[in-house]
A and B are shown apart, each in its own frame.
Chain A
Amino acid sequence: MNPADVAQSVLPLTSSDLSLLTLFLHAHWIVKLVMIGLMVCSVWVWAIAIDKTVLYTRSRKAMDRFETAFWSGQSLEELYRSLSSKPNHSMAALFVAAMREWKRSFEGSPQKSFAGLQMRIEKVMQVTIAREVERLERRLLVLATVGSAGPFVGLFGTVWGIMTSFQSIAASKNTSLAVVAPGIAEALFATAIGLVAAIPATIFYNKFAGEVNKQAQRLEGFADEFAAILSRQIDERG
């Protein structure tokens, strides 16, 4: 069999050829739509997964570094000066926000207002934590949605494909397996893509939700400790 013959036999896609491309091309346009949508979902899910994995890894490492620096006895003023220009992770942002509020209360106004300082600092830190957690959680809902709805969308494509294939079976008045099989295969392809998109989405969502939870806890803990330190400072100065 020379290459020319192979090309000759491959080029016209007969109905007995059941490669994935043929399955896609022969499908009904609604099934095609479902397949394309699920493919896009899968691409997006994996993009989010890659993005979040990198983000969380970096964030965790930065937090480790910051905590070592924070508890090393280094002056908080120096730490603030080195970080205030661009706080590049959640804990730094938290620290910078609290320090900024502290400095503003001490340096900005001539008369020192200690009365509500403790409360203000806690407020600022809570807001910052909420913002940072929101940043960490961004796009995770996409994963949850794809994970839960993907199989249904795929199933819809399958049902539609089987419906149309049964209609064509009825039209051709032939029930041999060779007639039935391609339609069923292309219909099931939709469910396959739905599962391909949904399974990683669900797994990644669970993993990332746990990760976000852990980091939020860590931020809360740091905020409480830092608030305690600042509170002691306030009491000493006041």
Chain B
Amino acid sequence: MQIKTASAISTGLHVLVLAWATLSFNSKPFETTPAESLPVDIVSEKEFSQLTKGIKDAPKPIEKPKPVVEKKAEEPPKPVEEIKPKIDEKREVAPNKEMKAETPPPDPIADKIKPQDKPPEPAKPLAQAQPQPLPPKRPPMPKPPQKQPEFSPDKIAALLDKRDPTRKSVTGAELNSAPSLGTASGAAAQLSQSEIDALKARLYALWSPPAGAQDASNVQIMIRIRFKRDGTLATGPQVITSGSGPVFNAMRDSAVRAVLVGQPYTMLRPEHYDTWQEIDFVFDSSKMYSDIPVRRQ
């Protein structure tokens, strides 16, 4: 076989392959599925600063319903509601619950009468084993009904609950103490920005440096403040910054006064007491008139 024949065959093959490639290699544009629009929640700065750190294996919120109290953080503070301890529903026995639900306004007379109606059922251990018809009602007993719940076979589970019947449910701030699916970078054990800002606002509002010292824009006074759990000072404010001169002394004294006057610092939440047990607070005269956070409180 001559090489010419082979060349002709080869050329023919190449032409065929190229023709096929030219026809079939037309680039098709990638099909892009349009992205569906996602609902976006706008998280305010305050909410963001209060994000708690989550762990990966936390139960889903649906599987484990939250405790009874709704989070009240966003609403205007209602001190009465938040402070008042709530009775856990589980422990409540029927008469109390119904009584509470059915008496719309606190009626002093009705309150006095109704506990008398309730027969104080002695919660004997034997009673659980042998359920018997309710005994006839007895004369009123002075004990409050919470302490002496009436026995009913439907409430055995509640009666078996050995916990303190008047124990408090968690209230607002401790609501999310159980680990939840939070953000990866949330830092729960730190003072949130809002708390720091509130503290700063309060201290700066109380701080009145001498009028002439306002021009001394570079004076910074660091004061170590030790708190007790209730927000009052554990020890006297300790001035860390060292300095001299009448201006410095005047500003230092005014800062110490501000710290003393400002207590109790209720904006610091007791759950985070570890973090604000001791705070080095800097009074900065240059930020005095520019940086005061006015928005909160």
Contacts and interface: CB of A to CB of B under 8 A. Distances in A.
Interface of A: 17-21, 39, 42-51, 54-55, 58, 139, 185
B1 A21 contact: no
B9 A47 contact: yes
A47 to B, nearest CB: 4
B7 interface: yes
Contacts of A47: 3, 6-11
Contacts of B177: none
Contact of A44 (B5, B10, B22, B25): B10
Interface residues of B, number: 18
Given A48-B6, A51-B3, A54-B1, A43 B26 contact: no
Given A39-B14, A51-B1, A20 B22 contact: yes
8 contacts: A20-B18, A39-B14, A43-B14, A44-B7, A46-B10, A47-B10, A139-B3, A185-B27
Interface of B: 1-3, 5-11, 13-14, 18, 21-22, 25-27
Main SS of the interface on chain B? helix
A47 B2 CA distance: 10
B27 A18 contact: yes
Q: Is the interface of A mostly helix, strand, loop or mixed?
A: helix
Contacts of B10: 43-47, 49-50
Closest 8 CB pairs of A and B: A46-B10, A51-B6, A47-B10, A47-B7, A18-B27, A50-B6, A47-B6, A54-B1
B182 to A, nearest CB: 38
Contacts of A55: 1
A47 B12 CA distance: 10
A185 B21 CA distance: 15
Contacts of A18: 26-27
A17 B28 CA distance: 9
A42 B14 contact: yes
Contacts of A39: 14
Given A18-B27, A19-B25, A42-B14, A48 B1 contact: no
